[in-house]
Amino acid sequence: MADFSQNRKARHDYETLESYEGGLELLGHEVKSVRNGGAKLTGAYLTFRGAELWLTGAHISRYQKAGPLGGYDTDRDRKVLLRRPELESLFGKTQQKGLTLVPFSLYPRGRRIKLSFGLCRGRKSYDKREKLKERDIDRDARREMP
């Protein structure tokens, strides 16, 4: 099944060192909104607060068919659900200079909604240009093949 939401720019702006998968702690109407395409991960990132991992900056719009939702914040922080050893390992890795956790996509796994994210290092602008150049060369080579 297709992804509910993707952060397309993340793969361009960051070099992925490791990929991870975790659950998200969502409210009932947020789940329905995500399934209807109401989530945006552009500009989102993951941070540690204490011993917990939080998704910050993701936008999940209000579910249209829900009743009145007093004080619902569409950009609130949402808890990412991982096992303790994974959290401890990630916390140690993010303490290294230049490494960050970036969300890539929201997708279904059975009845659950999962978040795909990665341990990433930011790319310089010249690295981005090189990557685009390599992709263009590969595409041209594939066209030339009979």
CATH number at residue 106: 2.40.280.10
Residues with Cβ < 8 Å from 51, sequence gap 6 or more? 84, 87, 91
Residue, of 70 and 33, whose pLDDT is higher: 33
> Exposed, middle or buried by CB within 10 Å (0-12, 13-18, 19+), for 80?
buried
pLDDT digits (tens, 9 = 90+) for 36-87: 989 999 989 999 998 899 999 999 998 888 877 778 888 899 999 999 999 9
Q: Is 144 helix (H, G, I), strand (E, B) or coil?
A: helix
pLDDT band at residue 1, thresholds of 50, 70 and 90? low
62: which 2 tokens?
Answer: 């209000």
Q: What is the mean pLDDT of residues 86-109?
A: 91
Q: Whole-number mean pLDDT of the chain?
A: 89
Range of the domain at 63: 5-144
Which residues lie across from 121 on neighbouring strands?
Answer: 15, 99
Tokens 């569409």 belong to 74
Number of structural domains found in the chain: 1
